Structure 1
Amino acid sequence: MSDEHNPKMLSSAGHPLVETPNLDALAGRGTTFEAAYSNSPVCIPARASFATGRYIHQMGFWDNAQPYDGSIRSWHHQLRAAGHRVDSIGKLHFRSDEDDNGFSDSQIAMHVVEGLGDLMGLIREDLPVRGGSWKLAGMAGPGESLYSTYDRDIAARAQIWLHREAPKQDRPWVLFVSLVCPHFPLTAPPEFFYRYFNDPGLETPKLYAEAERPRHPYLEDYRNSFNYDDHFDSEEKLRTGVAAYMALCSFLDEQVGKILAALEAAGLTESTRVLYTSDHGDNVGARGLWGKSNMYEEVARVPTILAGADIPVGATCQTPITHVDVYPTITAAIGLETPDDLPGRDLIAVANEPTDPNRIAFSEYHGMGSTTGAFMIRKGNFKYVHYAAYPPQLFDLENDPEELNDVAEDPAFETTRQEMEDALRHICDPDNADTRAKRSQAALLEAHGGREAVIARGDLGFSVPPGHSPQFD
């Protein structure tokens, strides 16, 4: 798993500049799921869904201040209980190593800061301006960061594990390798940064100009709270930010390549299934937005590739999927029963079936930079976004893949919009979920001293690797 990888930023996805040869090679020997989505486009809830196979509103890990604590059974718990080795290396973004998170062993695990996470994200009205966004934007450019160093360590440890530990196993095993790039800070190793910064083909992100940006109130809330425009105020700074993000995608790909090469060198490629995905994507300047927290394709959709035995080679799958499908995929691959109350399906089976036009991908968001819950339904060629307090959005992704034309108010799409809303309400009551999330957040905010105390604590910007102290702004 990577962190914050925009699904369009791979050469195998057709990007004209970004070079990802190792992920491309993985796609060439497996299946790419082209309609794969995060269950929540922000780190901590997304990772809770990935672990448990459940939706956010079913668990209550609403935001980046309510991390997974091992209290709900995960696929790692189930595998370990059945006698299988299941290890993790790298970012987990759970509450703490003090919790039983289900792994046999966890190396250099990154968890939420101070066991608390982003308390400022608990504020869901009169949103504070996030100083951390200025800090993160200002770090864009060539160089090394805590994250690039951390990813090199993660990749090195994964290589060692595959050579030393995997051959010892007499039962099927799982190694969860969780890298942090291309997540902010946008500080990229120079050999990758200048590859893109100096490329004359580097373009301004779509709809970046002030007059071009969509003015939906949900997006305005986020822009007002995360003031990236205050930093990206020149063509030079904007070009630096975009080039750095692309560079981090290539740096990430290099780490993936090292891990896959170790798998090959250990003689394990043919007997091992490999899944690559990301917890969510990133706006990378599109519509004047950076970071995550919305339901556009750049953010809610995630690159997802599955390769190995019984998986079609060099194929693409258009059936919508999400991270809740990972739990049943792993248990099926291992040969264990999947709990029958989980909403997901085995992706190996999905990859071998014709496209299912009726399957639904569902995502929800209740976190930082928002005053209202956001709920997404992807079915067939359409994507519907419902807001508890704002007008909905509807996009025809077949005819409008860049989501330039919101047709939610178009009478010609009234039936489609209603069908999509009905599908959403079959999964959850969005008003009830929004109310429960805000009630939980208000109680936690009060427990930490209230609005002013949390703002005084400061804005973290990003979690730090183990062994480093956080810096608040």
Structure 2
Amino acid sequence: MQNRKKRIAIVVMSDEHSGVAMGSAGHPWIKTPHLDAFSASNTRFTSAYTNSPICIPARASFTTGLYTHATRNWCNGLPYTGRPRGWTHLLRDAGCDVTSIGKLHFRNEVDDTGFTRQLLPMHVVNGVGDLLGAVRDPLPVRHKAKALAEEIGIGESTYTQYDRAIAAESIRWIQDHAEQDNWVLFSSFVAPHFPLIAPEEFAALYRLEDIPLPKLSRAEDRDDHPWINALRDCFRHDSYFDEMLRKRAMLSYAGLCSFMDWHFQQICDAIEAAGLAEEALLIYTADHGDNMGTRALWGKSTLYEESARVPLLVRAPGRNMRQVVATPATLADVAPTLMEWMGLPAPAEWPGRSLLSIGESRDDHQRVAFSEYHAAGAETGAYMVRQGHWKLIYYVGMAPQLFNLAQDPEELHDLAPGGEHATVLKQLTVELRRIVDPEAQDRQAKSDQHVLLEAHGGRDAVVRRGGFGATPAPGVTARFA
């Protein structure tokens, strides 16, 4: 058990930082020295996943401890409003100070989302968000996707400026509250989310000639799944790329990962200087990953490792956690972790489990990690089950995919066709159906999204209005296309 004087927890979240994009996770050239050093002396969960690979659903699961089909925040047009209540409400109502600094991506600052205060918050555009992401039957063409290819380079963006402000405010908060007890700080950054514009000092860590092309970026090298083809036809990012631009994009993404790595170290230094390193629970994670050009896909929205897997690093003073934990975990496990650390019971209906107890136990290869996707570019609902070294991706109305991540960590060989692994496929499908009825929830998601669109003039009106790409930093106006 912990032998500590204070109950303090700090969660640092990045945005779109893939769980494979760290040196400690085995990435061959992306430089994250501070996260790697933290991993080496604390606990790294090697099989950690988002519960939905897009901002609003992922952040709703993180906040409530529930899966997306329970919160019904299906897409970026259905932001979290404070219902269902989450760990933020429970801790605050028990007398804990719960402060957020930075990106939340909820509906607005007015809704009671459980925080004692919100500093420098980013919320969805106009309190509404990305309505175009709710258009799924049929899928639209996202013309704003071209902006990703146009906004690549070296320098400062409104996002990097915002992240610098988040870091400075977080450091001040830690310094000012070092003597206080019973508080949780949620420090939430935007990097390495696009636009792929990296500050010069971090871009300079890389040479363009050393950067390989993303795997399966050439059409002749891949055998695409129909669901992925539909996603790529909706988000035509890659049609604006050539090989050199792909390398430049990856250099910028890597630079932004290093930029985020540097911010994490600043917060670690502030914790150390405040004398809290042996007191405070510290968690680093991301809301979801990024495809990084693999399969000619950019952004998130898939259940492949690059997009669905997230970094998950934990320092829990006084707990006997192992350094490397292979038990599958998800963002929904953070909520019960915070409840346990702060000395309160977690609600029985939460599907997650405290990372503290997971990290102190032997690897559980029977535990299931679950993720789902019902948002922009999803022709039908998509679901992921990870158990042991097996991974199922289940698409409603389409053939599933099956991967053996021990033998094929790059997910190059779909083992579902041919029937050779029918038993495994059946077992994982049973596990999926223990969690959710995929067909029923696909219908529910599309029904909720239809109601949303009708409330805003209908599908055609929303498509005519267009999309705006990424939510702008506070004070910046969204531009639709």
Q: What TM-score do you get using the length of structure 1 for normalisation?
A: 0.97
Q: Specify the alignment match of 2:204 in structure 1.
A: 194
2:463 is the counterpart of 1:463 = no
Where does residue 220 of structure 2 map in the other structure? 211
Counterparts of 1:275 and 1:442, CA distance in 2: 37
- 1:31 matched to 2:43: yes
Opposite residue 470 of structure 1, the aligned amino acid is: A
Query: For residues 383 and 57 of structure 2, what CA distance do their matches in structure 1 show?
Result: 14
CA distance in 2: counterparts of 1:39 and 1:343, whole angstroms: 11
Q: Which amino acid aligns with 2:193?
A: H
Structure-1 separation of matches of 2:208 and 2:173: 38
State how far apart, in whole Å, the 2-side matches of 1:432 and 1:138 are: 39
Which of 402, 405, 413 is 1:397 aligned to? 405
Superposition pairs for residues 47-196 of structure 1, below 5 Å?
47-167=59-179, 169=180, 171-196=181-206
1:310 CA displacement: 3.7
For the residue of structure 2 that corresponds to 1:103, the secondary structure is coil
1:14 Cα deviation (Å)? 2.0
CA displacement at 1:314 relative to structure 2: 7.0
Larger deviation: 123-132 or 96-105? 123-132
- Separation of aligned partners in 2, 1:24 and 1:161: 25
Shift of 1:279: 0.5
1:13 to partner: Cα distance:
1.4
Q: Distance in 2 between matches of 1:314 and 1:348?
A: 10
- Identify which of 370, 385, 388 aligns with 1:380: 388
User: What CA distance in whole angstroms lies between the structure 2 residues aligned with 1:119 and 1:471?
Assistant: 14
Q: Quick check: 1:416 aligned with 2:411?
A: no
Deviations 1:425-460 (A, max 9, x none): 011100000000000101111111112211222211
Give the letter for the 1:221 counterpart.
A
Q: Which moved more, 1:283-292 or 1:123-132?
A: 123-132
Report the residue type matching 2:398 in the other structure.
Y
SS at match of 1:2: strand
Give 1:127 shift.
1.5
Report the CA distance between 1:410 and its aligned residue: 3.1
- The 5-angstrom pairing of residues 186-335 of structure 1 reads 186-196=196-206, 198-232=207-241, 234-312=242-320, 315-335=323-343
Contact 1:310–1:348, Cα closer than 8 Å, also in 2: no
Note the C-alpha offset of 1:229.
2.1
Q: 1:309: how far off?
A: 1.4
Alpha-carbon separation, structure 2, partners of 1:341 and 1:195: 46
Aligned residue in 1 for 2:439: 431
Q: Is the 8 A contact 1:166 1:173 kept in 2?
A: no
Q: Residues 208 and 247 of structure 2 are in contact (CA less than 8 Å); yes or no, is this contact kept in structure 1?
A: no
> How has the CA–CA distance of structure 1 residues 214 and 291 changed in structure 2, closer, same or farther, with 3 Å as cutoff?
farther
Unaligned runs of 5+ in 2: 1-12
Query: For residues 387 and 169 of structure 2, what CA distance do their matches in structure 1 show?
Result: 40
Instruction: Select the residue among 358, 364, 369 that pairs with 1:361.
Output: 369
Moved more, 407-416 or 43-52: 407-416
| Range with bigger deviation, 453-462 or 268-277 | 453-462
Change (3 A) 1:22 1:313: farther
> Which amino acid in the other structure matches residue 406 of structure 1?
D
User: Structure 1 residues 414-423 or 125-134, which shifts more?
Assistant: 125-134
CA contact (8 A) 2:316 2:356 kept: no
Query: 2:465 is aligned with what amino acid?
Result: R
Letter in 2 for 1:333: W
Structure 2 equivalent of residue 440 of structure 1 = 448
> Does 1:342 find its partner at 2:354?
no
Letter in 1 for 2:238: D
- Corresponding residue for residue 10 of structure 2: none
Code of the aligned partner of 2:302: N
Structure 2 letter corresponding to 1:211: E
Instruction: Give the drift of 1:256.
Output: 0.9
Q: CA deviation at 1:313?
A: 6.4
**Structure 1: runs of 5+ lacking an equivalent:** none
CA distance in 2, matches of 1:138, 1:193: 17
Question: 1:69-102 CA distances to partner (integer Å, 9 max, x unpaired)?
Answer: 0021110111110001110000000011010110
Distance in 1 between the 2:361 and 2:322 partners?
15
Q: Deviations over 1:412-434 (max 9, x none)?
A: 21000000001100111000000
Deviations 1:12-71 (A, max 9, x none): 112222111221122122110001010000000000000000011111111110011002
Per-residue CA deviations over 1:103-141 (Å, capped at 9, x if unaligned) read 111101101101111100111122211122101221011
Contact residue 208 and residue 248 of structure 2 kept, 8 A = no
| C-alpha distance in structure 1 between counterparts of 2:48 and 2:26, whole Å | 16
